[in-house]
Chain A
Amino acid sequence: MSKTNPTDRKYSKEHEWVRDQGDDTVTLGITDYAQEMLTDIVFVELPAIGKKVKQMEPVAVVESVKSVSDVFAPVSGEVIEVNLILENRPELINQDAFGEGWIAKMKMNKPEELKGLMDAAGYEAMIREEKH
């Protein structure tokens, strides 16, 4: 069973979460539901610091034994930090997708994009829909 989706963050249709740090920067990762669908994550390709991405462009890649999946940037901006621990411990995403399994931090250049993302309740409704 997936863990509860925290209410302190926003969610994308592609199963990313993004948490507003309050200073125009955000932390992002994939949701617990996403890690459960991907199963054993064995490799994470992190973006370079300074990489600029537009909303919903690929910002990282996560690979399981069977699959390769893009992680899309929920907001536009510039990568300012990456979770380097994932290079040696990609399984942290499976174990703690909303916490220690965070992927990157970005400086937003269009903070208003956050408003267009789903809240936890909206995201859960979408997953329920997907399961049917």
Chain B
Amino acid sequence: MKKTPLYDRHVALGAKLIDFGGWAMPVQYTGVVEEHHATRTKAGLFDICHMGEIDVRGPQAFDLLQRVMSRNLEKQTIGQIKLSVLTNEQGGIIDDLTVYKLADDHYMVVTNAASKDKDLRWLQSRKQEGNFSDVEITDRTDQLGKLDLQGPQAQAILQTLTENDLTPLKYYHAMHMAVAGVQSLVSRSGYTGEDGFEIYAGSERIGTLWDRLLNAGSDAGLKPIGLGARDTLRLEAGMMLYGHEMCETVSPCEVVYGWLIDLEKDFIGREALIQQKKQGVTRKLVGFEMVERGIARAGYKVFTDGREIGEVTSGTFVPTLNKAVGLAFVPAIYTDPETEMDIRIRDRDVKAKVVKLPFYKREDKHIFYNVFI
């Protein structure tokens, strides 16, 4: 298993480590529920060094990305981030990722940990195929570390370690700054449903950054957070996870990523997606909550009137809402809120109902969600 530069620190903190996409990662330090609450009410620090960073540079960087990304990057400004998907010819999702525009000829693509190698191969072969000779694709995952600082106290904590004013930094925007003397790229973004930042810095300095942040945030209640709480936080906020809600045979139209597709521009997968839009998709991802006692888990089957109609992709008990929720694929006719369905839990059918996503929305969210990402 690969280790992040923070591995020894996790062990020293007493974290429980698991294999996640080939990386030894902390699943929890003190407990998933406690860590979840810490992030929602104060702040949490996450080791995200396992995620992939791919540099795309050169005069044709934009052309290549515009060809492979579902999202139209034309109006992206320098410093802006765009959430996007890479789609194959059939319109299936190869990965969901964020595209940072650092300069007109320089982008950084941030990938899921387990997808990084295939994303890299995909970009390289599309480069060859499309004759985008004037672009350089570099895997920077090993040189770059990434920390996520999330929660209502995130800005106050980070502000104590940088001279740059963080207030003007908008949602889904990034800027370079020194944090605790470490040259970093900081974006206001994340995967928890809270305000917060994703911080990128050289691997050799990421340990310093981790220590300084934990220290600076200790009075404000900052805690290290494992992947267990990262999963409950993202699910509660209605966010999807590659490998659960998405794979190469799932189209963005079937999940909640229809808005990431721009069919006005040419990209790989466009024709298939146009067809799909015309015909309509047969299955769709919905959010649900349990009506009766029980916790639905990934892989459990969904029934209506005793007939199997779909499958749960993610499901657990989420601590802030204090209930069992999940995401599931069901036929498009069963997606209206309040639609009842049964989830088969250990040979027993337990009632659930469709609810609108996200399950959880923080109160001040409009401040950031006014900005179209």
Interface-facing stretch out of B26-34, B61-69, B362-370: B26-34
Residues B297 and A68 in contact, CB atoms below 8 Å apart: yes
Q: A39-B28, A42-B317 are in contact. Are A65 and B232 (CB under 8 A)?
A: yes
Residues of chain A with a CB closer than 8 A to B27's CB: 66
Query: Count of chain B residues with Cβ under 8 Å from any Cβ of A?
Result: 18
> Taking the complex as formed, is A81 at the interface, i.e. its CB lies under 8 A from any CB of chain B?
no
A42-B295, A66-B32 known; A61+B316 contact, CB < 8 A: no
Contact residues in B for A83 (Cβ distance below 8 Å):
none
Decide: A65 and B297 in contact? CB cutoff 8 A. Answer: no
> Who on chain A is nearest to B323 by CB?
A42
Q: Is the CB of A40 within 8 A of B324?
A: no
Contacts of B33 in A (CB 8 A): 40, 42, 65
What does the 1/0 interface line of B24-46 toward A look like (CB < 8 Å)?
00011001111000000000000
By DSSP majority rule, is chain A's interface helix, strand, loop, or mixed? strand
Check A87 for interface membership: any CB of B closer than 8 A: yes
Pair A66/B316 contact, Cβ less than 8 Å: yes
Q: A65-B232, A65-B317 are in contact. Are A39 and B31 (CB under 8 A)?
A: yes
A20 touches B (CB below 8 Å): no
Q: B293: which A residues are within 8 A, CB to CB?
A: 43, 87
Q: Which residues of chain A have a CB within 8 Å of any CB of chain B?
A: 39-40, 42-43, 45, 61, 63-66, 68, 87
Mark B residues whose CB is within 8 Å of A. 27-28, 31-34, 228, 231-232, 293-295, 297, 316-317, 319, 324, 346
- Known: A40-B34, A63-B317; 6 extra A-B contacts, CB below 8 A, are A39-B31, A43-B295, A61-B346, A65-B32, A65-B317, A66-B32
In the assembled complex, 27 residue pairs joining A and B whose CB atoms fall closer than 8 Å, in A order, are A39-B28, A39-B31, A39-B32, A40-B31, A40-B32, A40-B33, A40-B34, A42-B295, A42-B317, A43-B293, A43-B294, A43-B295, A43-B317, A45-B294, A45-B346, A61-B346, A63-B295, A63-B317, A65-B316, A65-B317, A65-B319, A66-B27, A66-B32, A66-B228, A66-B231, A68-B297, A87-B293
